[in-house]
Chain A
Amino acid sequence: AQSVSQHNHHVILSEAASLELGCNYSYGGTVNLFWYVQYPGQHLQLLLKYFSGDPLVKGIKGFEAEFIKSKFSFNLRKPSVQWSDTAEYFCAVKPPRDSGAGSYQLTFGKGTKLSVIP
């Protein structure tokens, strides 16, 4: 089955450490890629998205992600995390147009909880 994989369930970092959260997908063809963040008690917010062009995408709050087509990956990065980055992060993929009736839906990974220690 087509899927989105986030390999880390829970990541714990100290403030100022660098962050990289992995995301891999199994769809062939042209996909659209998203990272969402859910802060404690809040709704999901879009961090960044990739549709085409430069594979290095910059988002809000200093986050960026790199699309590597050959690796089917879209990893999220931040050079220096802050305590306020403590949240759950979700990778989402919109499958190719020709992949069937569900191709306009987003498929989400299981999420990665990030805890940043002051």
Chain B
Amino acid sequence: DGGITQSPKYLFRKEGQNVTLSCEQNLNHDAMYWYRQDPGQGLRLIYYSQIVNDFQKGDIAEGYSVSREKKESFPLTVTSAQKNPTAFYLCASSTDTGYPRDGYTFGSGTRLTVV
């Protein structure tokens, strides 16, 4: 089945460490996105990428970094500079980079906890 795979499902990190969240899609989608979901705050855009080797900051990019070396993969690194990293992270993708008529397809998420 085509879809988006996020791994791991749960991740624990010590303060001061960087950690990378994986997102892989086999939908042949051009655009990929990372959102952060916090209770009562909805989904906030961290980074997005419309094409390989190109990505743009979203609304809350500080303390995060991404890469897009392959169409299928869009990993997110949560750096030690992110002041409040404990959250639920969602990866999404869409077919049309210019005007996604079908909305997004979402992964099942990674819950990151800083201990």
Contact = CB atoms under 8 A, between A and B. Distances in A.
Contacts of B48: 105
Contacts of A74: none
A9 B99 CA distance: 29
B103 A49 contact: yes
Given A109-B42, A110-B40, A43 B107 contact: yes
Interface of B: 31, 33, 35, 40-45, 48, 50, 56, 58, 90, 92, 96-104, 106-109
Most buried by B among A43, A94, A101: A43
Main secondary structure of the interface of A (DSSP, over half): loop
A65 B42 CA distance: 20
A32 B94 CA distance: 14
A101 B78 CA distance: 25
Contacts of A105: 33, 45, 48, 58
A104 B98 contact: yes
